[in-house]
Amino acid sequence: MDYHYNTNYTSPSDESDQDLSDASDSYEEGFDFNMRLQQCLDNVQHEGTFSTFHTLKAYTNPALHLNGYGSVGLPLAVRDAEAITRICKQSPFGKGDQTIIDTSVRKTWELDAAEFQCRNPAWTAYLDSLVGQAVKDLGVQVETRAQLYKLLLYEEGAFFKAHKDSEKVPGMFGTLVICLPSEHTGGEVYLVHDKKKRTLETAPSSAFDISMLAWYSDVSHEVRPISSGYRLVLTYNLVQDQGMPKQSAGALDEYHARLERLLKTWNRDYRQFEKFIYPLEHQYTKANLSLASLKGHDAAKGRFLQRLCAKNGFYWLLGRMTKQSEDEDYGEESDSLDLDYTVTPTGMDLNLGLLTVEDVEILADVEDLYGNRDVDSEDEGEYMGNESMPAAYRYHDTVFILMRKESVLRRFRSCETHNVHSLRAFFELLRDDHTPNNETTKLVVDAMRILLTKIVTGLASKANNYDNSYYSYGYLGYGAERERIRADLSRIFSLVASHCYIIGQQDLVREALQRVMQDPSWSSSSELVRIAADCIGREAAIGGADTWSKWLSLPPPRVPTFKYANDMRITFETIRSHVPGSHVLSFNEWTNDRVGEIVRSISDYSKADNAALLELIATMGQAKYFTEILPKLISHPHRAGVIAFLQQLAKSFEEDTTAKKDIVKPTFQALISIDPPLLRLTISDIVRKTSPYRNGIYLGYGIPAPTDMSDVLPEDFLMILKHSLILELNEVAVQLLARGLPDTPDPASIIWDGWKEIFDFVGRLIIVLKDCTDPSVQEAARTWIIPTLQQAALWLARRRPVEPKNWTRKRKDSCNCSPCQELLRFLKNPSQSVARFSYADRTRKHLQNSLEYNDYKFDTERTRIPYTLVVYKTKNEFLRLDARWKSDVAEMRSHLQRLRGNSGNRNVLGEEMARLVDIESLILIRGAQPVQPLQPLQPTSASMQNFGQPASGAVEKRKADIVDLTGDASD
């Protein structure tokens, strides 16, 4: 297998240390520094370390065959091992110009390459793969071949003291050792290079696996004694072409030293550069962008940076840079350079707000990078109105991003939002930074503080906090997505907190939690409460009772609520489970007092508090409810809140006789008696679902809209009335009916267009009251029901439409254009029923659209140009309104018959039942006298039209038609 050397190879000795140390802040010398840094990275074709080690469970059996013995099976059997010792010789070692045997220095058995063979044809290809891995790991930059050297057998007590390999053949630069499956203990290979030390252990996997070891020849190494078993290895010389630069661990160190000098120079003399961008040879998708996925020379450069950046005060990242060129007017181009995204070497998204790139930051010849290159994507220019949108051409490059550690930290701090992936990416970047020194430690502490703050802020955030101000951490979603993200944040917090404890920075965790706990909304996050509880419990084991005040004497929100008080109670219960048993009693006393303080400070109440109120009643007890909670509801009443609370309270204790007597009844009496009454219905509450449109006719917005305080639903009123009767609070029921039912509107009011909803409410009210035998309750209901039905019948009687006597019509829209004025004259003409308008298509459509489509007939004459629009007047509006009125008459009659025909209603209406016939009779008189003839018809508001008075000069009224609601109304 060939491994090709880079023909642009530059020796590290070409770099001038003196030039680097004399660098200045001038642009020219800064550019020179950029060129040197670029050249350093350009020359990295391979990257590695002074040794490598791999254990391989899947391997090819070499089919080892020994001259004079035969095949050797694997894993190695004891009988084969003993036979090998009989045909092997003791291994010598070199000392100066001599090759000697001294078992005090080296004790092992060996066979020369000529004395054995690997007969499996597949072994050669497998060996090539091992050599390729070794060359890659060692960072060898030239073509390499492996030359079989020896078969070695280490038995119990065998060893080889520290030494360096001599050049056994021309071009040898390293050693490859393949430990075949041969079970043993001991025999560690201990390597030393410069100040770096490494121990490679083959014993743990020796029974069934192959181990591959390799190192440079200038690395000192020893094989420590075998404790038991046998260790069988094949050794190969790693050989290069002698005409190429000699590969060695020392040469590799010099490459590393070159970049280290450049990084130190950058940190010292060129801090004006926040980052440098180095384009890669290959393109990668975002999903496949990480150190592990890099290919070829990109991978070598990535490993090079991974080995050297962190320990020299830098981080390296990956990303995509895009150059966008736009064609401007007069043939000019506008270019921009941007970073589309940034990921860590492990491939995790990291948001640092790195957006723009300057040419001087790119470690490449920009002209060469983009010259004579096809675009990667483009947007074709388009014409937009009077101007054209320029064409955009984009060039994408995957890049390395080099930054000082403090620049990364500053960027991370300045970003207001991070998703969970970005937070975790930043943490792992810090956690994997194994460069212990004072500067790095301080930076990590600052970074962990920022990271913890961002995480707990995210955990505590919610769309609406107790101060009723919007606060949301940017990456949080809603519903299930929000909870999933919070769970992810909780896991990240646990990872960061654990790391802080490991590095002795647990104070950072407490500071971050206490800072966010100053916001009263913190307790709404179950994850944050759980995390805080764990921390408080841990500290209580040491600090005792003082811990409660230290952690939990938090400032209340600007407007304390029952919900906040209950949330804190729940929070305290969660924390209690983490409190050491010996401190639970002290904790309970402290939390009970604290919840009481919060309740006493409450000065506001809303419907959102009701669930919390019910829980507080159950936990605080009856006495505190009447002395501390109920007075708050009376002194600070909230209409919708009290209505909902009464219903929820009655339902919660419907099976508890004692609670109904001691808590529910007094509460109903107190809250329903509040003056002014909270349960006061308006007629708009009953008909609020009525639309301004009905049967396709726009009725206008004459129906009063519910006011801010008009949030009593009829269902709520009836349910509370029902609960009052169940609780035998008849006096409360009378009070509720007398003060809660709405005033009856005047029969001319347009509100009566919702008469069906009113009749429906009457029916439901009677159902609630039909089992009540208390005369005072029945009387209170009757005094509202009968007048209301009377007014409804009177309103219906007065709104019968009148057929127009001529062809005068109203227009729904007004326009001053000449064609519209012509149309208006036609509409006002009492004798003209047809008109023709010869105009262009657009004008004809304008005229046609200005008329009610259903009330006119339209035709188009095409005998000449322009075409002629023909408009025919009809009586459709009157016919439609008359049909609707007759339908309403029949429906109201049906409602009244049902009320009169239900014998159960007598319990409520009593003698007033007979008056329902009188109500029907109202229409006999009133329905015969139309309010106003439909001259002209007003399609915009039928009800308002009928309520109006006859205009002066109106045609003579028709004779009265008697309409009997008690008979068939189908005429």
Report how far residue 307's alpha carbon sits from residue 751's, in angstroms, rounded to the nearest whole number.
82
Predicted local confidence at residue 468, as pLDDT: 35
Question: Side chain identity at 344, as an amino acid letter?
Answer: T
Residues 6 or more apart from 902 whose CB is under 8 A from it? Answer: none
Predicted local confidence at residue 290, as pLDDT: 94
Question: Side chain identity at 688, as an amino acid letter?
Answer: R
Bridge partner list, 65: 71, 117
210 exposed, middle or buried (CB, 10 Å; 0-12, 13-18, 19+)?
Answer: buried
Taking only the tens place, the pLDDT of each residue in 670-691 is 999 888 888 888 888 888 754 4
Angle at 666 between CA 662 and CA 667, to 5 degrees: 110
Question: What does the pLDDT average to over 619-640?
Answer: 89
* pLDDT band, residue 524 (cuts 50/70/90): confident
Q: Which tokens is 521 given?
A: 């909304």
Taking only the tens place, the pLDDT of each residue in 259-314 is 999 999 999 999 999 999 999 999 999 999 999 999 988 998 999 999 999 999 99
- Sole residue written with tokens 């388009």: 382
DSSP designation for 354? -
Question: Side chain identity at 329, as an amino acid letter?
Answer: D
Termini Cα distance of the chain:
105
Question: What does the pLDDT average to over 420-432?
Answer: 90
Enumerate the H helices of 295-404 as residue ranges: 296-308, 366-370
Closest-CA residue to 62 (of 152, 122, 132):
122
Report how far residue 687's alpha carbon sits from residue 707's, in angstroms, rounded to the nearest whole number.
13
A 10 A CB-CB count for 273 gives 18
Asked if 713 contacts 761 with a C-beta cutoff of 8 angstroms, the reply is no
CATH of 51-247, one of 1.10.3470, 2.60.120, 2.60.40, 3.40.50: 2.60.120
Report how far residue 548's alpha carbon sits from residue 390's, in angstroms, rounded to the nearest whole number.
65
Which helix (H) or strand (E) element contains residue 872?
Answer: strand 868-873
Report how far residue 696's alpha carbon sits from residue 390's, in angstroms, rounded to the nearest whole number.
49
Angle at 44 between CA 41 and CA 47, to 5 degrees: 125
Question: Side chain identity at 280, as an amino acid letter?
Answer: L
Predicted local confidence at residue 738, as pLDDT: 93
Residues 6 or more apart from 353 whose CB is under 8 A from it? Answer: 411, 414, 415
Closest-CA residue to 783 (of 818, 740, 753, 723):
740
Taking only the tens place, the pLDDT of each residue in 778-821 is 999 999 998 898 888 888 888 888 889 999 988 777 688 999 99
Predicted local confidence at residue 965, as pLDDT: 38
Q: Is the peptide bond before 676 cis (omega within 30 degrees of 0)?
A: yes
Residue 653 Cα to chain centre, angstroms:
40
Q: Cα-atom radius of gyration of the chain, to the nearest Å?
A: 46
pTM: 0.56
Report how far residue 198's alpha carbon sits from residue 215's, in angstroms, rounded to the nearest whole number.
11
DSSP designation for 770? T
Percent over 90 (pLDDT), the chain: 44
Asked if 599 contacts 565 with a C-beta cutoff of 8 angstroms, the reply is yes
Bridge partner list, 70: 66
Bridge partner list, 160: 106, 223
pLDDT above 90 for 871: yes
Taking only the tens place, the pLDDT of each residue in 527-544 is 888 888 888 887 787 776
Which helix (H) or strand (E) element contains residue 511?
Answer: helix 506-516
> What are the boundaries of each domain within the chain?
51-247, 275-381+388-415, 418-552, 818-874
Residue 934 Cα to chain centre, angstroms:
61
Question: Side chain identity at 788, as an amino acid letter?
Answer: T
Taking only the tens place, the pLDDT of each residue in 53-64 is 999 999 999 999
Report how far residue 615's alpha carbon sits from residue 940's, in angstroms, rounded to the nearest whole number.
53
Bridge partner list, 333: 327
Residue 520 Cα to chain centre, angstroms:
23
* pLDDT band, residue 479 (cuts 50/70/90): low
Residues 6 or more apart from 747 whose CB is under 8 A from it? Answer: 791, 794, 795, 798
Taking only the tens place, the pLDDT of each residue in 333-365 is 678 899 999 999 999 999 999 989 999 999 998
Question: Side chain identity at 581, as an amino acid letter?
Answer: G
Report how far residue 53's alpha carbon sits from residue 49's, in angstroms, rounded to the nearest whole number.
11
Report how far residue 639's alpha carbon sits from residue 655's, in angstroms, rounded to the nearest whole number.
26
Query: What phi and psi values does residue 194 have, to the nearest 5 degrees?
Result: 55, -120
pLDDT above 70 for 917: no
Report how far residue 497's alpha carbon sits from residue 762's, in angstroms, rounded to the nearest whole number.
64
Closest-CA residue to 646 (of 626, 668, 623, 624):
668
Taking only the tens place, the pLDDT of each residue in 151-188 is 999 999 999 998 888 888 999 999 999 999 999 999 99
Closest-CA residue to 474 (of 419, 529, 398):
419
Predicted local confidence at residue 222, as pLDDT: 94
Asked if 469 contacts 557 with a C-beta cutoff of 8 angstroms, the reply is no
Residue 410 Cα to chain centre, angstroms:
24
- Rounded mean pLDDT of the chain? 82
DSSP designation for 223? E
Asked if 258 contacts 185 with a C-beta cutoff of 8 angstroms, the reply is no
Q: Which tokens is 608 given?
A: 């959102």
Residue 184 Cα to chain centre, angstroms:
54
Closest-CA residue to 481 (of 434, 420, 399, 401):
420
Query: What phi and psi values does residue 63 have, to the nearest 5 degrees?
Result: 60, 60
SS3 state of residue 936: coil
Question: What does the pLDDT average to over 228-235?
Answer: 97
Report how far residue 640's alpha carbon sits from residue 649's, in angstroms, rounded to the nearest whole number.
14
Specify the higher pLDDT residue, 497 or 111.
111
pLDDT above 50 for 423: yes
Predicted local confidence at residue 704, as pLDDT: 43
- DSSP sequence for 66-124: ETTTEE--SSPPHHHHHHHHHH-EE--EEETTEEE--TTTEE-EEEEGGGEEE--TTHH
Predicted local confidence at residue 153, as pLDDT: 96
pLDDT above 70 for 30: no
- DSSP sequence for 660-725: IIIIIHHHHHHHHT-SS-SS---HHHHHTT--SEETTEE--S-SPPP-TT----HHHHHHHHHHHH
According to DSSP, the β-strands at 159-163 and 106-107 are antiparallel
Asked if 567 contacts 612 with a C-beta cutoff of 8 angstroms, the reply is yes
DSSP designation for 217? T
Asked if 193 contacts 222 with a C-beta cutoff of 8 angstroms, the reply is no
Determine the length of the chain.
Answer: 971
Percent over 70 (pLDDT), the chain: 84
Predicted local confidence at residue 249, as pLDDT: 86
Q: Which tokens is 221 given?
A: 């190494």
283 exposed, middle or buried (CB, 10 Å; 0-12, 13-18, 19+)?
Answer: exposed
Handedness of CA 537, 540, 546, 551 (dihedral sign): negative
Closest-CA residue to 739 (of 669, 665, 682, 668):
682
Report how far residue 560's alpha carbon sits from residue 564's, in angstroms, rounded to the nearest whole number.
6
